[in-house]
Structures are given as structure tokens and as C-alpha cells.
Amino acid sequence: MRLALYDIQKRKEYAREAREAFVHTEAGREISIKKSMLDTARTFLGTRYRYGSSDPKLGFDCSGLLYHVGKLNQIQLPRSSALLAKSAPHIPWKKARPGDLVFFGDRGRIHHVGIVSRTRPKELWVIHSTNQRGVIDENVLESSYWNKRLLFAIDFTTLKELRSLSDTDTASINP
């Protein structure tokens, strides 16, 4: 009995050490950044919609939500969905993972952005701020409106890397 308890404690200790070591790897940091952004976005579910706002007291538009979530995570993001879309390389939306950004538009224009909360076959759950329901988490593939406007995604970590590089470049130019 004592040996079994010791084994369980040792396994828990090894698991904790492995998790801590993983957090310090590049993959671990990427997952941590995405998880933090997603966890922060979830805290605003139910917040009302307000065009042009990034203030949770007033409400959010789609890019205002992401701008505010980024700010709370010490990440400066562009304020509009169109500028966000130009900030990093695009990936097919089918390859998006939780924490990535997904973009919507029509007639060659980007007009909406959200953060992927989870994916499953034939499901793409996105936290976004809509003018009808405010900040929600919905499967956009079930929505005839959003499904036909789905364009592409951005791996959030590539966006973060680009922002960090541009911040470093600016710092070296302006001491």
C-alpha cells in the first residue's frame, strides 16, 4: 500500500516537472499565449456590442474585443479587422486552432474578426462580438451568415512574433 502511494506521488511530481519544462519550450510558450488570449476573451462573454469601442464598460465591436484582450495580455494589436488581417501570413481557416484569429468578409473586403475557441470536425467555434448579440461563442459553420463569409485565419503566434520583432526594431531605432 505504501509503495503504491509513493508511486502515485512520484508520478504526480514527474508530471508537474514535465509541464513546467514544457512551458519553457517554444511550443509551450505558443500554447500559453493562445490559452491566455482565449481565457481572457471568455471573460467578456455576454458583453454588449458597441461600434467603434474597445471599452468593456461600453461594449465591444469585433476588433475592439481583440484589441482589449491583447492589451490585457501585454500584446499590442492593430485596432481594425482589416489591419489585423494584414499583420501576419494567412492560413486556411480549416487549419485554425484555439487561440488563432479567424476573418470574415465579402466582396473583397474584410469586415469581421474573432478568436477560435475550439475546433472539431464540421465545427469552428469562435468568440466574437456581433451587433445582434454582443460577445458570444458560436459555431460559425452552423450560421448561414458567417459560414459564407469565412475567409482565412492567422496563427496568433505568428502575429505575436511579428509584433515583437517590430517592437524590437523600433526600440533599436529610437533609443
- Tell me the average pLDDT across 38-47: 97
- Band of residue 9 on the pLDDT scale cut at 50, 70, 90: confident
Residue 27: which of 126, 124, 99 has the closest Cα?
A: 99
Beta carbons of 124 and 140 less than 8 angstroms apart = yes
Q: What is the pLDDT of residues 113-146, one digit of tens each?
A: 999 999 999 999 999 999 999 999 999 999 999 9
Q: At what angle do helices 26-42 and 62-72 cross, to 10 degrees?
A: 120
Enumerate the β-bridge partners of residue 129.
135
Supply the pTM of this predicted model: 0.79
| Domains of the chain in sequence order | 2-173 (3.90.1720.10)
The 8-class DSSP code of residue 49 comes to: B
**Residue 14 or residue 51, greater confidence:** 51
Mean pLDDT of the chain: 85
